[in-house]
Amino acid sequence: MKPTRLFALIILCAFSLAACDKGLRGLSNQELVAKNDACVMGNPTAPGKVTACENIKKECERRRKDGNYAC
């Protein structure tokens, strides 16, 4: 793979992950809890799933700081 294509792919992935984090704020507590439970029970190993679960965990922590103890 050419270095410019690799760089473009890395940048695209970074923006995609940043966008996913913003989308979690729109989830209801029930949806977030369900996703969090799936992460805990599934114990993912695929890099994409691990990143998604980390973002879900961060959103739970963000809500907890605001006094919302949903998960």
- Residue 66 DSSP one-character state: T
* 11-59 pLDDT, tens digit each: 555 555 555 556 899 999 999 999 999 999 998 899 999 999 999 999 9
Whether 51 contacts 17, CB under 8 Å: yes
pLDDT at 2 over 70: no
Burial of 34 (0-12, 13-18, 19+ CB in 10 A): middle
